[in-house]
């Protein structure tokens, strides 16, 4: 079951969903629009190694916007910090963003119950396009669980993205491996 706008508001009031900052105008019939944060991160190495951290550069999006180009993976974050303790959040791109050739995630559209953070976006573009900090970039959809989660994301020992941070998070996949 996907939550409607009234159910999202009720879950926020109950404390089962948190969205900061919350903008009533961003609430849709059955979703909540999230906005592009002010920073992008790009990897500084031409080759990435899944077993090692990769250096990256942080770029602030200027007020006039920033052109994104094909062939580059841009990591971004949502302005919104979200928590979901009783629902499974899914992040999807807005159709208007897709029609500009912007893809906001490579694989990570599903969040977990207990995810408490800003969403990191894995942005790629089909053709050059200018983006702006604060623009609506995606929409969160909340699904009800059939029962409570035994171990929410934030309590999982292997959870890597639990430190609250408004900056785009680089991959921490390398933490899955023992030192070489």
Is 92 catalytic? The answer is: no
User: Which of 13, 80, 92, 122 is the catalytic position?
Assistant: 122
Pairing of strands 136-144, 87-93: antiparallel
Catalytic residue numbers, as ranges: 122
């Amino acid at each position: 079951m996907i939550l409607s706008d009234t159910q999202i508001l009720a879950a926020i009031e109950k404390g089962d969903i948190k969205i900061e900052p919350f903008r009533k105008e961003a609430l849709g019939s059955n979703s909540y629009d999230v906005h592009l944060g002010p920073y992008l991160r790009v990897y500084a190495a031409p080759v990435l190694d899944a077993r090692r951290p990769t250096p990256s550069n942080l770029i602030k999006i200027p007020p006039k916007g920033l052109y994104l180009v094909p062939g580059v993976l841009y990591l971004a974050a949502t302005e919104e910090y979200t928590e979901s303790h009783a629902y499974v959040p899914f992040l999807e791109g807005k159709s208007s963003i897709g029609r500009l050739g912007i893809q906001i995630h490579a694989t990570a559209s599903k969040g977990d119950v207990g995810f408490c953070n800003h969403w990191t976006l894995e942005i790629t573009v089909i053709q050059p396009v200018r983006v702006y900090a604060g623009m609506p970039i995606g929409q969160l959809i909340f699904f009800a669980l059939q029962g409570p989660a035994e171990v929410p994301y934030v309590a999982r020992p292997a959870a890597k993205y639990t430190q609250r941070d408004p900056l785009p998070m680089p991959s921490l996949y390398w933490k899955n491996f023992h030192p070489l």
